[in-house]
Amino acid sequence: MAEHVVFRKQVSDGNYGSEVAEVLLEVDMDDAHEAREAVLALALENARQLVHAELRKSPSSTVRRALEPPTVSEERWRRAEEAAEYELAAGKRDNAREDVDDEELPY
């Protein structure tokens, strides 16, 4: 029995267009294959690497830059989002205060 794994990525080129790369891999295995999910996961990872390698050859710097890993860690990004939410809540609270005289604010 054959299983198929497909990975497709479409990246904007920044000029109202996009570049697309797609890989379809066929994996032959029988129903009794114990490591079926692991084999398919490896095939998908291989397809992802092939697609990204192809798009990294793009003449468009925008496409190549879109494939670069983010420079900000997920933890740092989470903390920044929390800080932004805190600042928004504080601003809403201050705006809702009744003891603030709008005429004293410089415009």
How do the domains of the chain map onto residue ranges?
Answer: 2-71
Question: What pLDDT does residue 94 have?
Answer: 74
Check: CB of residue 11 under 8 Å from CB of residue 18: yes
DSSP state of 59: S
The pLDDT tens digits of the residues spanning 93-105 come to 777 776 656 566 5
Element spanning 7, H or E: strand 2-12
Question: Which has more confidence, 5 or 28?
Answer: 5
Mean pLDDT of the chain: 84
Alpha-carbon torsion (58, 60, 61, 62), positive or negative: negative
pTM more than 0.85: no
Residue 4 sits at φ, ψ, to 5 deg, of: -115, 140
Give percent above pLDDT 70 in the chain: 88
